[in-house]
Structure formats: structure tokens, C-alpha cells
Amino acid sequence: MVSRPSAGRVAVVGCGRWLRGDDQAGLLVAKAIRQAGRGLPEAGYRYTLGATGGLTASADTGSKLPVAPVDRSEPLPEADTSAETTVHTTESPGADLVTLLDGIDLLVVVDAAEQGPTHPPGTWQCIDYRRSPDRVRARSASNAHALGVDLALKLAEQMDLLPTEVWIYAISVAPGGCGEAVSPAVGQTIQFLSERIPSDIEKWRERREEGGA
């Protein structure tokens, strides 16, 4: 009898700085995935978030909407731990990422990126770090978060902790900004990616189970 591959353990890490406008984008995507996680049937979800309670952004106006407090020590329900997804937020990816990777098959990082001529605020891209590490390094030249992520991934590789697959979802944001509200374009992307990323993870798991990953 041929054994089937594990459904895979996943870490989702939202990066950014709280109370810094659009720079919260990665943190808010992770928070939204946490809030919706109970409705995803395939995997158990555990959460270690960097803040409790707070405010998130309205997708259409940039206004602030209250969200439920986050219990940092919330226990997992009974679930297959080989198919576990953990969701984290960090303001210090350079220090924290390596500590989250033990036993992880897929790392998903969500972070803000500087806008550019072809990437206005609210646009996003998914970078396959294993295939295109130079795209992350190019971002790190002008972005403190990207630098921290890049250094952490290099360290993880040196320590033989880097997962088989690493996806980086980079959300283009406008420079500056302060407070809890995000811009309307970025708010829409936060909502979109909070649904898209769990869907991408489930498709990845299906490919693994079919032997295609």
C-alpha cells in the first residue's frame, strides 16, 4: 500500500507595524484569516497574534471597525496536527520568523511593499521565494520589513529550517501614514487576500495529497 503524503503544516505570518496606516496590511490580513479560520474544514488552526482587540479597516471607506479580542493561548480543537495551520503576527520578522519554522512545510508571509510605477497602492503580488529569492532581496534594498524577512529567510536556510515552500504576498502601500485606518485600496486588498490565502493553502494541500506537490 502506497502511503499518502502529509497534508502539510503551514505557518502564516503577517508582518507590519501597528498604528502605522497601510503598513499594518500584513498584520490585518493575518488577523482576518484568524477570525475566519474556524470555518475552514480541512485543518486545525492555532493563533499566536501580537495584539489583543483593536481595530481593523473598512474595505470601502478606510474607516475603523471594532474586532473581537484575540486569545493568544487559545487551544486547538481536536485536529490532525499534520494538517495544522498556525497564524502569527509580528512587528519584528527578522527576529521572529526563524522561531516559527520547526516542522513547517509551507511558510506564507504577508507584508507591505513600497508602491511603484507599475504597483500602485492596493496591488499585490505573490513571490515564490524558493524560485525567485532575488525578488525579495530587491525589495529589501528600500524596505525595512523586507530586509528583516530576507535576513530571516537566509538565516533559516543556513540553519536548515527553511520550509520546502515559501510564499511572500507583498501588498503595495503608500509611504507614511499613521493611526488605525488604512487607505480604501489597501483595505480592499486586505479583505481579498484574507480569503485568497486560505484558498491557496487548501489548493496546495490538495496537490500534496494527490502527489503533485
Which of residues 67 and 160 earns the better pLDDT score? 160
CA torsion 121-190-55-34 (nearest 10°) is -150
Residue 137 pLDDT level (bands cut at 50, 70, 90): low
The domain total for the chain is 1
In a domain, 5, yes or no: no
Is the per-residue pLDDT at 160 higher than 90? yes
Q: How far is CA 54 from the centre of its chain?
A: 19
Is the per-residue pLDDT at 140 higher than 90? no
Q: What is the pLDDT of residue 176?
A: 76
Q: What is the pLDDT of residue 76?
A: 35
In a domain, 3, yes or no: no
8 by Cβ neighbours in 10 Å (0-12 / 13-18 / 19+) ranks as: buried
Per the CB < 8 A criterion, the answer to whether 53 and 18 are in contact is: no
Q: What is the pLDDT of residue 6?
A: 65
For the chain, the residue count is: 213
The Cβ of residue 166 has, within 10 Å, a number of other Cβ atoms equal to 24
Q: What is the pLDDT of residue 42?
A: 38
Q: What's the mean pLDDT in 134-155?
A: 71
Q: Rounded mean pLDDT of the chain?
A: 77
Domain that holds residue 156: 10-209
Q: Tell me if residue 152 falls in helix, strand or coil.
A: helix
59-95 pLDDT per residue, tens: 333 333 333 333 333 433 333 445 689 999 999 998 8
In a domain, 169, yes or no: yes
Q: Give percent above pLDDT 70 in the chain.
A: 69
36-60 pLDDT per residue, tens: 864 443 334 454 444 333 333 333 3
Compute φ and ψ for 131, nearest 5 degrees. Answer: -90, -30
CA distance 29 to 195: 9
In a domain, 33, yes or no: yes
CATH of the domain at 26: 3.40.50.1450
Which of residues 49 and 185 earns the better pLDDT score? 185
In a domain, 1, yes or no: no
Is the per-residue pLDDT at 201 higher than 90? yes
In a domain, 81, yes or no: yes
96-126 pLDDT per residue, tens: 999 999 999 999 999 998 887 788 999 999 9
Is the per-residue pLDDT at 139 higher than 80? no
Is the per-residue pLDDT at 163 higher than 90? yes
In a domain, 66, yes or no: yes
